[in-house]
Amino acid sequence: MLASHSVTRLLSKSLALAALIAVMVGYQSAQAQSCPRPAGMDERYCDADGDLVADTPTDPAQIVNPDTLLISYTSSEDPAVYSETWQEFTDYLKQVTGREVQFVPVDSEAAQTEALRAGRLHIMGTCTGCTPRAVNQAGYVPFAIFAQEDGSFGYEMEVITRIDSDLEKLEDIKGRRIAFTQPSSNSGYISARILIEAETGFKDGVDYEANFSGSHENSILGVYNEDYDAAPIANDVLNRMCIAGQVECNQFRTLYKSATFPSGPFGYAHNLDPDLQAKIREAFYTFDFTGTKLAEAFDRAAFVPITYKEDWEVIRLIQENAPPQ
């Protein structure tokens, strides 16, 4: 009899446990359905509207509405030089939003992305190849990009060598010293090595010596100073360096030029107050570049709208299909 009661109790507990598991699975399934997200996006974010970026939280407790907006811009050049370059814009951003604005120099995209993820940064401009990681892992919402006066934007990846080099075509890089920038860079590494292999069949580290210089600027100067034989770089960076008098563009020969890629975008943290988001977009879209240090430094005339889903499609495809490093 006791054994029978024990079996009954065990069966009852098992049924209760099974029911609890079923409830939990159902709850988790409902949660997953109410919080859809694309593959690769961190589970702390939702993407119910399918635009591939994190949605603004629906819970008011998760909304951030800072008195001081922290903004940064990272590119291949020394970030410390940008505080003065961005002053006119940050003054305008303060005027439009009614918030204090502080420019925060950062020394790498990894540090920048982590700061946004941790809430220590609210607005940032980052590199093209860094954008998918920032979107998926830090809740970054890109919305604007530097553009020319006609609204066009973007840059090309060029493999450059010195004008007096004996390298005349891309196939000549076999066995030579090539400078990539950093592993997260689109034109400085990810797309560059794919396109080089597609054009020549050469693999980095096998058919040529692959080095990392740390930045497009370092790669350009490294080629100029003959530290490297050639380097894939973003030609908008080269153009800026030529404008600034750091190098002369006629001292380089182009061995390869890609199709146009989008340049680095500007965006904000997904959990900013929606009204503040709107004010930030307004500040970017209405800023007058005429006579500003931004226009001088970047040779651009406006910020124009972009969407991550459409304008970064080619970048996502490249990164998703890139061969292992």
* pLDDT tens for each residue of 261-310: 999 999 999 999 999 999 999 999 999 999 999 999 888 999 999 999 99
**65 in the same domain as 77:** yes
Same domain, 214 and 278: no
pLDDT exceeds cutoff 50 at 238:
yes
Q: Which of 109, 120, 134 is nearest to 53 (CA)?
A: 134
Look at residue 221 and tell me if it is in a domain: yes
Residue 273 shares a structural domain with residue 130: yes
For the chain, the domain total comes to 2
User: Looking only at Cα atoms, what is the longest distance across the chain?
Assistant: 98
Q: Is residue 245 part of a domain?
A: yes
Nearest to 302, CA basis, from 109, 144, 189: 144
Q: Are 127 and 190 in a shared domain?
A: no
Q: What is the mean pLDDT of residues 191-212?
A: 94
Whole-angstrom CA distances from 305 to 76, 207, 220 are 23, 41, 30
Q: φ, ψ for residue 75 (rounded to 5)? A: -145, -165
Average pLDDT over residues 89-108: 94
315, pLDDT greater than 90: yes
Domain that holds residue 163: 155-261
pTM over 0.75, yes/no: yes
Which pLDDT score, from 0 to 100, does residue 107 have?
78
Separation between Cα atoms, residue 4 and residue 293, nearest integer Å: 86
The answer as to whether 269 is a domain residue is yes
> Does 147 lie in the same domain as 79?
yes
How far is residue 60's CA from residue 39's CA, in Å, rounded to a whole number? 26
Question: Region 79-91: what's the mean pLDDT?
Answer: 82
Is 43 contained in some domain?
A: no
Among the candidates 210, 228, 261, a domain finishes at 261
What confidence tier does 247 reach under pLDDT thresholds 50, 70, 90?
Answer: very high
pLDDT in tens, 44-75: 999 999 999 999 999 999 999 999 999 999 86
How far apart (Å, rounded) are the C-alpha atoms in residues 82 and 70?
14
Q: How far apart are CA 184 and CA 6, in angstroms?
A: 61
CATH of the domain at 219: 3.40.190.10
Return the pLDDT at 27. Answer: 35
Q: What is the pLDDT of residues 152-191, one digit of tens each?
A: 999 999 999 999 999 999 999 999 999 999 998 899 999 9
Express each pLDDT in 1-41 by its tens digit: 333 343 334 334 444 444 443 433 333 333 445 899 999 99
- Per the domain annotation, does 314 fall within a domain? yes
Residues 208, 128, single domain; the answer is: no
pLDDT recorded at residue 80 = 58
String of b and e for 245-281 (b: at least 16 CB within 10 Å)? eebeeeebbebbebeebbbbbbbbbbbbeeebbebbb
According to the model, what pLDDT value does residue 106 have?
Answer: 84
Rg (CA), the chain: 25
Residue after which a domain boundary falls, among 261, 292, 312 = 261
In a domain, 226, yes or no: yes
Domain membership flag for residue 44: no
Element (H, E) at 295: helix 293-298
Q: Are residues 145 and 175 in the same domain?
A: no
* Whether pLDDT at 86 is above 90: yes
Q: What is the mean pLDDT of the chain?
A: 88
pLDDT on residue 74 = 80
In angstroms, the CA 33 to CA 30 distance is 5
Helices (H) and strands (E) in the chain, counts: 12, 11
CA atoms within 13 A on the CB side of 98: 6
Tokens of residue 262, six digits: 């989008």
Asked whether residue 231 falls in the same domain as residue 310, the answer is: no
Collapsing DSSP states into helix, strand and coil, what is residue 259?
Answer: strand
If asked whether residues 147 and 244 sit together in one domain, one would say no
Do 140 and 73 lie in a common domain?
Answer: yes
Q: Does 194 map to a domain?
A: yes
Residues 256 and 175 in one domain: yes
pLDDT grade for 79, boundaries at 50, 70 and 90: low
H/E stretch holding 26 reads helix 2-34
Contact 66, 100 (CB under 8 A): no
